[in-house]
Structure 1
Amino acid sequence: MLEFMDYVQSAFYAASRWNVDNSYASLTTSNNLLDFRTPHGVRLHVSSLSSPNFATSYTLGSKGVVDGSFSFLFSSLGLQVASKSNDLPLGHLVRGYRHLQELQKPEEGWQWEIWHRGKRIDTRDTLLYGRFYLPTSTLEALYLRRISPTRLFRLNTVLDSSLPSGGTALSQLQNDYGKYSTEYLFSTDAALFGFRGLYNFGYDPRYPEHQPSTRPPSHPWDHQSGRLSVGGELYFSPVNKSGGLSTGLRFTTLPVHTGFPYTMTLTVNPLMGSLNSSYAVKAGRNLALCSRFDFNVYSYESDVSVGLELWKRDLDTAWARSMLRREWQTKVAPVVDDNGFISSDFVERQDDAQGVLKARLGIDGKATVLWETRVKELLVGVGAGFNLRKKDQVLGNVGLEISYSS
């Protein structure tokens, strides 16, 4: 489950109209079904969005020793989002199967201009975030700035006495042109330089008037019912005189697809000799499944893991349809595809999810189970790890996480 500050940061991206899915770093979104985090020990989060521009959060945990953190967040862009834990949509807090939407045309620079008496008075959306960890005295900071309609700057820093030079910083300049995206990186750790890129085949949102006429898709690989994306990354450190690269591709169905939504990904790191492939499918309104295969040519070792995501909802289909009709009457426009069907994403956003069960099992016999739900005004997560090959110690780590926000 997302922490409150991550939820607010996601709201900033959405409010500033930045597509976080159109980048090489988010290519393997299907892995959210397998790489979920489980709590260790007992942890309590208390957060607040005191104003549309300012949020605070406090964390207290106990895993052998008592630890915790306190953090703050400031956004120059007012965020009108639900903040009370009993009002937060559970579906927005869980990293699970993601329905990618059709690419949108980037805004023009002049659309951001605001003039008053012959002078430009428009500003750029900015987010500041800081978190201080105890008892380690580690400081983590984040700076986000929307430089232009197609550009975002991100700076992450960590200050810790145990790190070389007392800390590290990572700067990223991201460009999103709809059809493709690029990203430039620099890290003070070993003076690392990096570049990432992602290209989407098919529909070009920059020139919608030059695209084929809208028609119902006849095949799942049709560019209107799915999208094929190819990307890669390259990085080099002149200090260590070493570098690396990787490449990958993804095919995912879009909301217009009439069958089961699914996503296929393949990533290859030729220098490390690793290959990773995954397949995720939304098998039903409340069920998503995923499988992943990892192989390394140098070690001849492979790993196969499977996972599932099962939602619990109290609302039946008839109630959801009636809600959709009422939303339509109140002019809250749902997402409608070219065939006149309402997107499943909109149905899920209107439903009140009561909980979600996530499970993962690997070929090594290690399994993880996580249950996240709402108990009155609290968000609760309970997780446990198992090792099925150790009969004398099957049960591993067990954790409980409780969150409250106002």
Structure 2
Amino acid sequence: MLGFMDYVQRAFYERSHWDHDNSYGTLTATAQALLDFETPRGLRLKVSSLSAPNFATSYTLGSVGVVDGSLSFLYSSLALNTPSKSSEINLHHVILGASYGGQMSLGDTLLYGRLFLPNSTLEALYLRRLTPTRQLRISCVSDSTLHNGGTILALLQNDYGKYSTEYLYSTDSALLGVRGLYNFGPDPRTSPSASASTVTSEGSVLAEPQYGRFSAGAELYYGVLNKSGGVSTAIRFATLPQHTGFPYTMTLTLNPLMGNLSSTFAVKAGPQLSLCSRFDFNVYSYESDLQLGLELWRLRSKPLEIAWAEKLLREGWKKRKARADEDVIGILKARVDQNWKIGLLWEGRIKELLFSAGAGFDLKRRDKVLGAVGVEVQYSS
């Protein structure tokens, strides 16, 4: 489940009409949401608040061996009038699940800082929109255990809808990198029902609806100080909303230098059920790995509706409009790999609180089948 500050940052992206998912780094986001979810460790409490449309705070207290915590502050030059109470937040906006398929006034800025206790590690984020299609993102970490006491990562992002590019620099090893993503077919900035046109023998133009989109991307990076680099490339096919069958997403990622090959397939098998598989293979060592995962949304059962009851309503009466997630009780996530390591996670809402409860199991270790177990509780106002 997203933390409150991550939720507010996504609200900033939405308010500024920036497509956070149109980048090479999020090409496999659907499979990662279904297979790479983190299970809580120990007990962790989070109390947050959007005290003003431009200012948010968050406090965390945890107990994993020792008592630890963090203090977070966020400022946005854009007014973020998004629901902030934990009892009103749409669960679809804070639970990372499967996903199938503008203009902004220049100079808008987001500032974020977080102090970890008791080790006094500090992380910060500076985000600024330079043009309607470009933004600068600078993140840094200050920690005495890191080389030179910390690191800074600068990322220049460009999103033109049809394609996107990113240029990065990190003070760690003086790392330089570039990556890009290209979307084939209609421009994603147009309506989801965008279509290609064909000309018939009579000269008339017919529209051919597009049911899927093919994307391809690559990244290249090089460390100046350690004189080492890397490269990877990936492709993705995802169905669009007008696809009449089961929505699905397929990806293939290749790292030629390391010899790693990874393929994923995710499908929405039912209204509340999504399934995913990932197969990794190394062409040099012949080692392979297989993971399977699912997510199941549980909805509150609805009473049977009697058709003639609608006629008993007086004219002018209006039904109360329900929230999009009003009938959502929670979501169950599960994964298993070929070594019989299992991860379970249950996320949902209890009255005014958001919660995540999870556990890990290793069925091949008879001495310690049950691994990490934890519960995370969030409250925001």
Partner of residue 115, structure 1: none
The CA deviation string for residues 97-132 of structure 1, in whole angstroms up to 9 with x for no partner, is 0133xxxxx65xxxx6xxxxxxxxx65211000000
Distance 1:304 1:387 in 2: 15
The 1:127/1:266 distance shift into structure 2, 3 A limit, reads: same
Partner of residue 96, structure 1: 97
Distance 2:351 2:133 in 1: 42
AA partner of residue 198 (structure 1)? L
- Following superposition of structure 1 onto structure 2, how do residues 119-268 of structure 1 map, counting pairs within 5 Å? 123-204=106-187, 211-212=196-197, 215=207, 217=209, 224-268=210-254
Partner of residue 380, structure 1: 355
AA partner of residue 355 (structure 1)? G
Partner of residue 312, structure 2: none
Partner of residue 352, structure 1: 327
Partner of residue 9, structure 2: 9
Q: Are the counterparts in 2 of residues 90 and 354 from structure 1 also a CA contact under 8 Å? A: no
AA partner of residue 282 (structure 2)? N
Q: What's the TM-score once normalised by structure 2's chain length? A: 0.89
Gapped regions of structure 1 (runs ≥ 5): 101-105, 113-121, 218-223, 320-328, 333-346
- Following superposition of structure 1 onto structure 2, how do residues 259-278 of structure 1 map, counting pairs within 5 Å? 259-278=245-264
AA partner of residue 259 (structure 1)? G
Partner of residue 313, structure 1: 299
AA partner of residue 362 (structure 1)? D
CA drift of 1:258 comes to 1.2
CA drift of 1:211 comes to 4.9
- Higher percent of residues as helix: 1
Paired residue secondary structure (1:284): coil
Paired residue secondary structure (2:12): helix
Q: Are the counterparts in 2 of residues 260 and 281 from structure 1 also a CA contact under 8 Å? A: yes
Partner of residue 342, structure 2: 367
Paired residue secondary structure (2:80): coil
Q: What's the TM-score once normalised by structure 1's chain length? A: 0.84
Gapped regions of structure 2 (runs ≥ 5): 198-204, 306-317
Cα RMSD, aligned residues only: 2.2
CA drift of 1:297 comes to 1.8
The CA deviation string for residues 361-386 of structure 1, in whole angstroms up to 9 with x for no partner, is 00011000001121111111110000
Distance 1:177 1:309 in 2: 32
AA partner of residue 194 (structure 1)? G
CA drift of 1:296 comes to 1.1
The CA deviation string for residues 70-99 of structure 1, in whole angstroms up to 9 with x for no partner, is 100000000011100111111111111013
AA partner of residue 306 (structure 1)? L
Partner of residue 399, structure 1: 374
Q: Are the counterparts in 2 of residues 89 and 353 from structure 1 also a CA contact under 8 Å? A: no
Distance 2:3 2:206 in 1: 40
Q: Are the counterparts in 1 of residues 266 and 276 from structure 2 also a CA contact under 8 Å? A: yes
Partner of residue 27, structure 1: 27
Q: Are the counterparts in 1 of residues 100 and 249 from structure 2 also a CA contact under 8 Å? A: no
The ranges of structure 1 where at least 4 consecutive aligned residues each deviate by more than 6 angstroms after the TM superposition are 206-210
CA drift of 1:184 comes to 0.3
Distance 2:302 2:161 in 1: 37
Paired residue secondary structure (2:86): coil
AA partner of residue 128 (structure 1)? L
Distance 1:51 1:290 in 2: 40
CA drift of 1:215 comes to 4.0
Taking only the aligned residue pairs, the percentage that are identical comes to 61
CA drift of 1:315 comes to 5.5
- Following superposition of structure 1 onto structure 2, how do residues 275-286 of structure 1 map, counting pairs within 5 Å? 275-286=261-272
Distance 1:291 1:263 in 2: 11
The 1:317/1:16 distance shift into structure 2, 3 A limit, reads: farther
The CA deviation string for residues 125-181 of structure 1, in whole angstroms up to 9 with x for no partner, is 110000000111100000111111100110010000111111000000000111101
The CA deviation string for residues 382-403 of structure 1, in whole angstroms up to 9 with x for no partner, is 1000001112321111101111
AA partner of residue 385 (structure 1)? G
